Amino acid sequence: MAAATTAAAAARVGLLYDERMCAHATPDGEEHPENPERLRAIWRKLSADGVASRCMIMKAKEAEDKYIASVHSQNHIKLMRSISSKEYDSRRNKIARKFNSIYFNKGSSESAFLAAGSVIEVAEKVAAGELSSAIALVRPPGHHAEHNEAMGFCLFNNVAIAADYLLNERTDLGIKKILIVDWDVHHGNGTQKMFYSDPRVLFFSVHRFDYGSFYPAEGDASYCFIGEGDGKGYNINVPWEHGKCGDADYIAAWDHVLLPVAEAFNPDIVLVSAGFDAALGDPLGGCCITPNGYALLLTKLLGFAQGRIVMALEGGYNLRSIANSVSACAKVLLGDKFRFDTPDMQPFESSWRVIQAVRDELKTFWPVLSNRLPENISLRSRPSQIELYSSGSDSEVEDLPDAIASVNIIQITYGIISESLSKLNLDEDKIATKTTSSNVMVEGPTDSVEPQNDGSAAVSTEGISSLSSTWRSELSKVYVWYASFGSNMWTPRFLCYIQGGKAEGMNIPCFGSHDTSPPRGSMWKTVPHRLFFGRSSTPCWGTGGVAFLNPEINHTENSYVCMYKITLEQFNDVLFQENRLVKENGESGKTESPDSPLIGLSEIEFVSRNKGVHLAPIKDSWYSNVLYLGEEDNLPILTMTCPSSDVERCRSGELPLCPPSKTYSATLIRGLMEGKHLDADAAASYINTAATRGLTTGAYVEAS
pLDDT confidence bin for 387, thresholds 50/70/90: low
- 3-class DSSP assignment, residue 253: helix
Tell me the domains of the chain and their CATH numbers. 13-369 (3.40.800.20), 472-692 (3.10.490.10)
* Gap between the terminal Cα atoms of the chain: 60
pLDDT of residue 432: 25
pLDDT tens, position by position, 264-304: 999 999 999 999 999 999 999 999 999 999 999 999 999 99
Residue pair 660/547 in contact (Cβ under 8 Å)? The answer is yes
Residue pair 506/493 in contact (Cβ under 8 Å)? The answer is yes
pLDDT of residue 424: 24
For residue 417, pLDDT over 50 is answered with no
Which of 143, 144, 186, 256 is the catalytic position? 144
Of 13-27, 317-331, 538-552, 685-699, the poorest mean pLDDT is in: 685-699
- Residue 303 CB contacts under 8 Å (≥ 6 apart), including other chains: none
Q: Which residues of 620-649 are buried (b: 16+ CB within 10 A; e: fewer)?
A: bbbbbbbbbbeebeeebbbbbbbbbbbbeb
Q: Which of 701, 704, 686 is nearest to 530 (CA)?
A: 686
pLDDT of residue 386: 57
pLDDT confidence bin for 3, thresholds 50/70/90: very low
Residue pair 441/448 in contact (Cβ under 8 Å)? The answer is no
Q: What is the mean pLDDT of residues 682-700?
A: 79
pLDDT of residue 590: 73
> Rounded to 5 degrees, what are φ and ψ at 490?
-85, 115
The beta strand positions in 520-642, using DSSP E, are: 522-527, 531-534, 537-538, 542-543, 546-549, 559-567, 583-584, 591-592, 612-615, 625-632, 635-641
144 noted as active-site residue = yes
pLDDT tens, position by position, 591-643: 788 888 999 888 888 888 888 888 888 888 899 999 999 999 889 999 999 99
pLDDT confidence bin for 470, thresholds 50/70/90: confident
For residue 376, pLDDT over 90 is answered with no
Residue pair 653/97 in contact (Cβ under 8 Å)? The answer is yes
- Cα(644)–Cα(294) distance, rounded to whole angstroms? 40
- 3-class DSSP assignment, residue 270: strand
pLDDT tens, position by position, 132-191: 999 999 999 999 999 999 999 999 999 999 999 999 999 999 999 999 999 999 999 999
Helices (runs of H) and strands (runs of E) counted in the chain = 22, 23
pLDDT confidence bin for 307, thresholds 50/70/90: very high
Distance of CA 80 to the CA centre of its chain: 25
DSSP string, 163-211: HHIIIII-GGG----EEEEE-SSS--HHHHHHTTT-TTEEEEEEEE-GG
- Identify residue 518 by its one-letter amino acid code: P
Alpha-helix residue ranges (DSSP H) falling in 217-290: 247-253, 259-265
pTM: 0.61
Percent of the chain past pLDDT 70, that is, above it, reads 84
Q: What is the mean pLDDT of residues 213-235?
A: 92
Residue pair 188/151 in contact (Cβ under 8 Å)? The answer is no
What number of residues does the chain have?
704
Mean pLDDT (the chain) is 84
pLDDT of residue 47: 97
For residue 663, pLDDT over 80 is answered with yes
pLDDT tens, position by position, 183-220: 999 999 999 999 999 999 999 999 999 888 889 988 89
pLDDT of residue 402: 31
- Residue 287 CB contacts under 8 Å (≥ 6 apart), including other chains: 185, 208, 240, 243, 244, 245, 246, 277, 278, 279, 280, 410
Residue pair 582/593 in contact (Cβ under 8 Å)? The answer is yes
- Cα(231)–Cα(246) distance, rounded to whole angstroms? 30
